[in-house]
Each structure stands twice: as C-alpha cells, then as structure tokens.
Amino acid sequence: MTDVAKSDLQGVSVTDNSPLGIFYLCAGLFIFSFQDVIIKELSDTYPVHQLVFIRGLVAAPLLFLLVHFDSGFASLKTKKYGQHALRILLMFCSYLSFYLAIAAIPLTTAVSLYFTAPLMITALAVPILGEKVGIRRLLGIVAGFGGVMVMLRPGAGVFEPAALLPIISAFTYAASQMLSRKLGSADSASMMAFYIAIGFTYIGGVMGLGIHLAGIEPASHPSLNFLLQPWKMPSGLEFAMIAIIGVISAMGFFLLSQAYRIGVASTVAPFEYTAMLWAVILSYLVWGTTPDVFTIVGALIIVASGVYVLRRERVRTSRPLAAKGPYRSR
C-alpha cells in the first residue's frame, strides 16, 4: 500500500502506513508476552528489583544506540529533568505492580486487568490535560470498569488482593502517559525510553540495597515474596533468561514505537488487545492453565469498551494520534 502523508498534532507530516504499523505492533506485543512468561517463571527464585535492575542494565546500551539512529545523541539534553524523573517513577511503579501481580495471579487475568489503561488514559485526560470526554466515551469507560468488577467478583469469596495490582499498574501507567503527551512535543520517544532504562537500573539497585540493609525477611504471599527476597547469583541459564528480558524490552519498544510512528494511532491502538491472545496461548503452553468464564467475560467487556473509546476518539478528532505515542509499552 502506498504511504499517505498525514498531519500530526504539531502540524508535521507523518507517514500513514497503518497495515505495516499493525504488524509491528502485534510483533512487539508478541515479543513482550515472552518477557512476562520469563518474569513469572523467575518470580519464585529472584526478587523483582534484581530482575528490573538487570533488565535496565541490558536494555540501556541497546536503547542508547537506538537514540543515535532515531534522534541523535543531542536529543538526550532536556530542560525538563524533573518531569522526566516523575515519569520514570510512575513507570517504575507501573512495572513493579504488574510484575508483582503475575507472581500471584494467572497471567491472563493480570494482562486483562492491565488493559484498563487506555480507559484510564482517557479519564485522566480530563483533569490533567483539560480534554473533553463526551457522554459516549464516558459510558464506554464505565462499561470497561464493569468488566473489571466481573473479573474481580468482589464479595464472592474468591477475591485475591494481588488482582488489584494490575489496576494500580494501569493507573500509574496512564498517569505517566499524561506526562508523555506533554514531553513528547519536545523529546523523542527513544530518548524517553533510554531514560526509563537508566531510571529502572538505578531504582532497582537502590531498592535491593535498601531491603538488604533493612534486613527485611521474605513473606509467604507470592507477591510479597517476589518483592522482599534477597538478591541471588543466577546460574548461567538463568542469567541469560534475565538478560533476554532486557533485549526483549529494547526490541519491543522499537517495534511499538515504529508501529505508532508509521500508523495512525486510532487505527493501530485497538490491536494492543492481541496481547491477551498471546497471554492465553502462552499460559496454556507453559503452565497448562486456561482462563475461567468470569475472566473471559470480563476481558471481553474491557476489550469492547476500550476499542469503543478508541474509535470514539477517532470520530472526535480528525487529527491522527500518532504523536501521542502508544497506550501501552511494557
């Protein structure tokens, strides 16, 4: 298909090749799904801060090279270090919450609940960015959170507190995306991703050192155990698995950033939900688990609501959302 020039939010011409963008997006989400599987597999043995530390350590040099080819090393300079630091902290909380969740609950449930993020982004755009959300999109958001209630089943005697962690992850991610929209007008996506990798390495190291010096003992709950257990020297195979997380992070970011760079976001973004398909398939292949009927129904409601909200966003404005960046990038 011939590329068609479109105008982004700053009036700059961008390329619209949405079919190829959808391919890049689905490929990136497929790769990221393996990261989740590796982290869940290692959650019984290694602490989350050690995995995040090594992840950032491996991803940083790869993203540094990406900055060179994408926007040049000069783009690493910014006048908004404070806002970048806040964005890093919010993203770290988002990743940490999600990783702690998958240590305790099925991957399919965690991924499904995490996908309330697009709904939260739309909701937070009202008080933070001053955007207007019409009644139709508002009803879509409410319906999406109805799907969350179906999955969590509060009061049914089967509620797992760790199921709240993906929602916290989605909320902090949505808040970080509000900053991304503001920073993205002056700073490149590759530069922001490089800062994230550096920040994750630093915070992961400080967290591990703090827990060690405080002498905090591991807990029996899988999520708390994943957070509080001490650092361990990994074997050759396990270190390779941890390092692969960093490689996946860099590759996944590149694919997702390319997807939103060449495709119109309102066309590409609904395919974010293919991550749920990969979660179901990999959960069955690796652990032999399948989602229950409540998870399936709740996930379908969340997907339908999210796609509806994204489509209403496309109707609301004729401007493509490519400059706003992806809704999700774990």
Contact 325, 184 (CB under 8 A): yes
Segments forming the whole domain that contains residue 315: 4-324
pLDDT of residue 314: 66
Q: What is the pLDDT of residue 155?
A: 54
- In terms of phi and psi (left: phi > 0; alpha: psi -120 to 50; beta: otherwise), the region of 5 is beta
Task: Give the per-residue pLDDT at 7.
Answer: 37
Q: At 150, which amino acid appears?
A: V
Give the DSSP letter string of 82-122.
Answer: HHHHHHHHHHHHHHHHHHHHHTTS-HHHHHHHHTTHHHHHH
pLDDT of residue 252: 84
Residues 263-275 have pLDDT tens digits of: 776 677 788 888 9
* Residue 307 structure tokens: 């796609």
Contact 169, 94 (CB under 8 A): yes
Characterise 215 by phi-psi region: left (phi > 0), alpha (psi -120 to 50), beta (else): left
Mean pLDDT of 161-183: 85
How far is Cα 213 from Cα 205, in angstroms, rounded to an integer? 12
Q: Which of the four pLDDT bands, split at 50, 70 and 90, describes residue 66?
A: confident
Residue 328 to residues 4, 87, 231, Cα–Cα distance (Å)? 25, 14, 29
pLDDT at position 209 over 60: yes
Task: Report the pLDDT averaged over residues 127-147.
Answer: 80
User: 6 pLDDT exceeds 90?
Assistant: no
CA distance 60 to 198: 6
* Residue 267 is assigned to a structural domain of this protein: yes
Given pLDDT bands bounded at 50, 70 and 90, which one contains residue 2? very low
Residue 85 lies in a domain: yes
Mean pLDDT confidence for 213-226: 88
The whole-number pLDDT of residue 152 equals 79
- The pLDDT value recorded for residue 37 is 95
Q: Is 4 left (phi over 0), alpha (psi -120 to 50) or beta?
A: beta
The span from the CA of 116 to the CA of 114, in Å, is 5
Average per-residue pLDDT for the chain: 82
Has residue 329 been placed in a domain?
no
Q: How many domains does the chain have?
A: 1
- Whole-angstrom Cα distance, residue 109 to residue 102? 9
Is residue 151, in this structure, part of any structural domain at all? yes
Q: Which residue has the higher pLDDT, 52 or 132?
A: 52
Residue 330 lies in a domain: no
pLDDT in tens, 23-46: 988 998 999 999 999 999 999 999
Kindly state whether residue 26 falls inside one of the protein's structural domains.
yes
Read off the tokens for 323. 């400059």
Residue 89, pLDDT above cutoff 90: yes
Higher per-residue pLDDT: 317 or 41: 41
More confident of the two residues 58 and 125: 58
Amino acid identity for residue 245 in this structure = I
**What's the token pair of residue 281?**
């398939």
Q: Is the dihedral of CA 309, 310, 311, 313 positive or negative?
A: positive
pLDDT at 223: 93
Q: Nearest 5°: phi and psi at 263?
A: -115, 155
pLDDT band (50, 70, 90) for residue 156: low
Which residue type occupies 111?
A: V
Q: How far is the C-alpha of 241 from the C-alpha of 41, rounded, in Å?
A: 10
pTM of the model: 0.82
pLDDT tens-digit series, residues 244-269: 999 998 888 788 777 877 777 667 77
Gap between the Cα atoms of 121 and 89, Å rounded: 17
